[in-house]
Amino acid sequence: MKGDFGLTNSELKLFKSLNTPAKIQDFINKIPINFEESGDSCYSPRMVLKNNRCHCIEGAILAALILRVNGYAPLLVDLTANDKDFDHVVAVFEKDGKWGAISKTNHYSLRYREPVYDSLKELVMSYFHEYFNDKGKKTLRSYSNFVDLSMFDHENWMTTDEEVWQIPEYLAEVEHFPILTKSQISCLRNADEIEIQAGKIVEYKSDKIKENF
């Protein structure tokens, strides 16, 4: 893979200016949410820039690319919920032997994680208590190992004008590790009402979509 990753000069200049995970997160936050008003999508990084919108996995894929341009491995981790909630995908990075994450979400929770976690599992568990649905049920159940997106380089995932469904499809198939036993699940306490109300706050709204996820 060439050093410019097939990016245009303007793309490369932009991404190199985002030379810390914090700057990448700030950039991802400023991209409006993709509410998929025209149907399900999985935009490539180039498509995200052209359309100026992304949802969680689209943002994670773009973040992984920008991390790669700045010397990090392009790693994703899949956080899986039970059937009462949505899964979430984050771009993870290692700095000084600690793990952090870049995340695209429309809510106050499930956001950026500072690189202060000793292991992937510790990083994942930092999301557990705030990972609840609109009824306050805590729903995070498992996580995948790291998926290095360089495995998709032959499919031009970084610059294609086609959608990159092969990435979420692969994430869904890789081994996932449960975080709770059945006994632990049966004893979970609901989130407090104030947490549930805070969870309804959204960063971006759509006039066409009733639930502004």
Domains assigned to the chain: 9-198 (3.10.620)
How far, in Å, CA of 48 to CA of 56, rounded?
A: 12
Query: What pLDDT does residue 1 have?
Result: 63
Q: How far apart are CA 34 and CA 52, in angstroms?
A: 8
Supply the mean pLDDT for the chain. Answer: 96
Give the pTM. 0.96
Confidence band, pLDDT 50/70/90 cuts, at residue 194: very high
pLDDT attached to residue 206: 87
The arithmetic mean of pLDDT across residues 157-173, rounded, is 98
Q: At what angle do helices 9-17 and 56-69 cross, to 10 degrees?
A: 90
pLDDT (tens digit per residue) in 37-47: 989 999 999 99
* Residue 197 clears pLDDT 90, i.e. is over it: yes
Predicted confidence (pLDDT) at residue 3 exceeds the cutoff of 90: no
For residues 101-126, average pLDDT? 98
The whole-number pLDDT of residue 207 equals 80
**Mean pLDDT, to the nearest integer, of 143-172?**
98
| pLDDT at 213 (0 to 100) | 45
> Strands, E, within 55-191: which ranges?
75-81, 88-95, 98-102, 113-117, 140-144, 147-148, 176-178
The pLDDT of residue 153 is above 90: yes
CB 84 within 8 A of CB 114: no
